[in-house]
Amino acid sequence: MSRTVRIGVDVGGTFTDLLLHDPVRGLTWPGKLPTTPHAPNEAITAGIERLLAETGTPARDVAGIVHGTTLVTNTLLERTGAVVGLLTTHGFRDILEMGREIRFDTTDLLARPARPLVPRHRCRGVRGRLAADGAELAPLDEDDVLAQAASLLEQGVEAVAVALLHAHRDDRHERRVRELLARAHPGLPVTLSSAVAPSSASTNERARPASTPTCSRR
């Protein structure tokens, strides 16, 4: 059995676009149907079933399906996601407000930075700290974690992001925060920075090849 058919799916905020390609038959067949925001997988499944039926393609001939979506991007831009609270290392509550991003429009002298996705009043610092090499400088204060989380929930927070200092080196404090919140607030969505993007600028610098050219002023 030769699997030669490939299907691409792009889920947008309004429509879900699909494309079936079979190089053996020289066939390229598009499809389109409304996105199902409550459950995007429903439109994906329905769209693929329609493509297979319209082209007379057995499911067993599909070699792969490539999926992409702008739903998350739309949610960020439109700020229509859950009410999020941030738990970070004590003393770093203002990290989102300060920012360090390079200006997105270098020709606009009056460009204003985008508002942080989590406003300052929903950011909390928790005691406990790791060094840059992952060594524990201060143990995680579990009572502080629970107190700060309770304060966020009183403000209507629906999900919690956890971004502790140097968690890319050692995620034990972040994992413990998740355990504490799961026990105290079952069902509360908790996302760890060490799970989403376990890296930092410092690790990227170390990974850069030694031959990378640098610029200097003369």
d(CA 173, CA 51): 48
Residue type, 58: P
Contact 11, 69 (CB under 8 A): yes
**pLDDT tens digits for 72-121?**
888 888 888 899 999 999 999 998 888 766 666 778 878 777 788 899 99
Between 111 and 154, name the one with better pLDDT: 154
The whole-number pLDDT of residue 113 equals: 77
pTM: 0.72
The distance of Cα 218 from the centroid of its chain, to the nearest Å, equals 41
Q: What is the rounded end-to-end Cα distance, in angstroms, of the chain?
A: 65
Under 8 Å between Cβ of 41 and 26: no
Q: Which of 56, 35, 57, 55 is nearest to 46 (CA)?
A: 35
Structure tokens at 40: 């995007």
Q: Where are the domains of the chain?
A: 5-75, 82-205
Q: What span, in angstroms and rounded, lies between the C-alpha atoms of 12 and 37?
A: 9
- CATH number assigned to the domain covering 5-75: 3.30.420.40
Coil vs helix vs strand at 182: helix
> Strand 123-126 relative to strand 84-89: parallel, antiparallel, unpaired?
parallel
